[in-house]
Amino acid sequence: MSSIRFEQVSQSFGNRTVLRDITLHLTEHRIGIIGANGSGKSTLVRMINGLMTPTSGTVSVDGQNVARHAREVRRKVGFIFTNPDNQIVMPTVQEDVAFTLRRRGLSPAEIARRTAAALDQFGLSEHAEHPAHRLSGGQKQLLALAAVLVAEPATIVADEPTTLLDARNARRISDLMQTLPQQVIVVTHHLNLVEDFDRVIVIDEGSVVADGAPQQSLAAYRALLLA
């Protein structure tokens, strides 16, 4: 598990403040982050591997300042986007998974072995030579997971990974998130996805308004929706 710290983190875009003085220490195995649209939750998690840099404050992973050591941190932290088309970069399924490993100094045989294992893990072996962008929505999200996990990161950050999926594929991705050995940090509107997590954080208007066990945090979020 990674040790992820936000120290007095704020983020502004022009006159709009998205995050306000966030201080968190994330060490649990499965962490959910929930909140209304525009609350700042996606901005928050994109700072973990340097996709965004805070206006003020610091984010660190295992003691490394992300802004200064983004390349090293990205070896530890894999990121899954809401829309898998945003991270599919190669023509075929097999090539897309192998692409992740090409800059790791591995032999062609090791790349082939690890790619095959990742495809098998996510039920994509039969689609290895298929055009990646012609997969179904659920298969594309599985491919995105495979392409990230093949690099064996310590932490997976997933930004609304089930939002664009039908109920069946959303359940499949949800089940996978529950069983991954890696530390998992998930932003989601699907509250059932985080009901069994170790910790759930509620973000509202750029601030942490609840942080604790799922039952308490989900109750606080539902209360916000009714306010």
pLDDT in tens, the chain (227 residues): 789 999 999 999 988 999 999 999 999 999 999 999 889 999 999 999 999 999 999 999 999 999 999 989 999 999 999 888 989 999 999 999 999 888 787 899 999 999 999 999 888 999 999 999 899 888 998 999 899 999 999 999 999 988 888 888 888 888 888 889 999 999 999 899 999 999 999 999 999 999 999 999 999 999 988 87
- pLDDT value at residue 102: 84
**Residues forming beta bridges with residue 30, ordered by sequence position:** 184
Show the tokens assigned to 194. 């985080």
With DSSP H G I counted as helix, E B as strand and the rest as coil, what are the percentages for the chain, rounded to 5? 40, 25, 35
Cα 141 from Cα 133, distance rounded (Å): 11
> Cα separation of 144 and 85, whole Å?
9
Confidence at residue 205, expressed as pLDDT on a 0 to 100 scale: 93
pTM: predicted TM-score of the whole model, two decimal places: 0.92
Q: What is 28-38+74-223's CATH topology?
A: Rossmann fold (3.40.50)
* CA-based nearest residue to 145, from 165, 198, 3: 165
Q: Which residues of 172-205 are buried (b: 16+ CB within 10 A; e: fewer)?
A: bbbebbeeeebbbbbbbebeebbeebebbbbbbe
